[in-house]
Amino acid sequence: MITLEELPLRADLVGQEPYGAPQLDVPVVLNVNENPYPPSPAVRREMADAVVAAAGTLNRYPDREALALRSDLAAYLGHGLAAEQIWAANGSNEVMAHLLTAFGGPGRKVLAFTPTYSMYPEYARNTCTEYVTAPRRADFTLDAASVQDAVREHEPTVLIIATPNNPTGTVTDPDVIDEICAGTDAIVVVDEAYQEFADTPSALSLLPRHPRLVVSRTMSKAFALAGGRVGYLAAAPAIVDACRIVRLPYHLSAQTQAVARVALAHADELLAQVRSLAAEARAFEQWARGRGFEVIDSQANFTLFGRFPDRHRVWQALLDRGILIRETGPDGFLRVSAGTPQEMAALRAALDDINPLEA
């Protein structure tokens, strides 16, 4: 058998590991910010029927432009958006890959604000774009002045601001985004993967004023469709055209488009748990503060909390009790996704059991 070392792998990929959180079969899975509620039997049935209908055309390539889906996504977002301002792909991961393929590349930089989503450096690496970072403030928020300083220092062609930010849950107000966009010619990507959970308004309202602004969204979290793999963006039609140049032909399968359209037709039902999941996360935060943990202010469906003298011990002790959370973020912190009330009760009981603040 040939080994990886013997293959002519790109030099910058040598020694790299595939990225990903552990996928373990345990009773309580709170590690990748999924929605714990599957689609209802009625929605499942409709999805199955849509897949059967799509299967009748599987001898043909799917709609390369996914126009029906993009127009449903535009209607969902509102703000007067139309299909030509929307781009969709297999998860917002692929949307980001399209953006960096189009606007990054050799000799160019993408700037992000750390700690932030751990896939950003991977998109950069894959597209041969230099990944540069600037730190967030001590409370993990962002202010326009320090973002502008970092933009002046690094001169990126793309900057990415996640709000709510993963793994901290902290938000960036649209007024701050507005100021950032006004001060740069770079493409400003606002990653709103968790926006539906937030109280702070979306950056979508800024699109008419800022032609280089991109707002990225996903159906993986609020829509409970992580397995369906649909992410999308809203931006000027010219930015969508740039993504259309670099996408692989027919990148969104007929089944994916069909299932996503059913999910959008039932947006009310699929989004019904968003407020209760946010409330579950906020309630956990209040409980955790009461227990003496340091908790970062979050508006997402997850919480970053610590500071653990030995976070790996805490992570392992929870796993030993059937609860999988995420060892990520700044030293001494762990991230946990909001689950069902039963799952959160199990988490609280387990934390009470293991003295996490002891070394």
**Cα 253 to Cα 45, 133, 222, distances in angstroms:** 19, 35, 22
Q: Which of 31, 33, 202, 303 binds ligand PMP (CB under 6 A)?
A: 33
Residue 231 interacts with ligand PMP (CB under 6 A): yes or no: yes
Residue 193 interacts with ligand PMP (CB under 6 A): yes or no: yes
Q: From the CB of 329, what's the least distance to ligand PMP, in Å?
A: 12
Q: Which residue is nearest to ligand PMP (CB)?
A: 91
| d(C-alpha 312, C-alpha 252), whole Å | 38
**Cα 154 to Cα 67, 150, 334, distances in angstroms:** 37, 6, 30
Shorter beta-carbon distance to ligand PMP: residue 169 or 356: 169
Nearest 5°: CA angle at 44, between 39 and 50?
A: 130
Residue 121 interacts with ligand PMP (CB under 6 A): yes or no: no
Selected range binding ligand PMP among 69-77, 88-96, 99-107, 348-356, rule: CB under 6 A:
88-96
Residue 328 interacts with ligand PMP (CB under 6 A): yes or no: no
Rounded to the nearest angstrom, the gap between the alpha carbon of residue 291 and the centroid of all alpha carbons in its chain is: 29
Residue 162 interacts with ligand PMP (CB under 6 A): yes or no: yes
Q: Which of 31, 35, 85, 92 binds ligand PMP (CB under 6 A)?
A: 92
Q: From the CB of 166, what's the least distance to ligand PMP, in Å?
A: 4
* One-letter amino acid of 23: Q
Shorter beta-carbon distance to ligand PMP: residue 117 or 315: 117
Shorter beta-carbon distance to ligand PMP: residue 118 or 340: 118
Residue 21 interacts with ligand PMP (CB under 6 A): yes or no: no
| All residues at 6 or more sequence positions from 67 whose CB lies less than 8 Å from its CB, including other chains | 83
Alpha helices (H) along 208-310: 237-246, 254-265, 267-270, 274-290
Selected range binding ligand PMP among 89-97, 249-257, 272-280, 290-298, rule: CB under 6 A:
89-97
Residues 39-78 that bind ligand PMP (CB under 6 A): none
Residues 163-192 that bind ligand PMP (CB under 6 A): 166, 191
Residue 242 interacts with ligand PMP (CB under 6 A): yes or no: no
Residue 35 interacts with ligand PMP (CB under 6 A): yes or no: no
| d(C-alpha 236, C-alpha 160), whole Å | 17
Nearest 5°: CA angle at 221, between 207 and 118?
A: 80
Shorter beta-carbon distance to ligand PMP: residue 92 or 303: 92
- Report residue 328 as tokens: 């990520």
Quick check: 187 and 158 in contact, CB under 8 A?
Answer: yes
Residue 218 interacts with ligand PMP (CB under 6 A): yes or no: yes
Q: From the CB of 193, what's the least distance to ligand PMP, in Å?
A: 4
Longest dimension (CA), the chain: 60
Q: Is 304 strand, coil or helix?
A: strand
Q: For strands 231-234 and 86-89, give the pairing.
A: antiparallel
Q: Which residues bind ligand PMP (CB under 6 A)?
A: 33, 91-93, 117, 162, 166, 191, 193, 218, 220, 226, 231
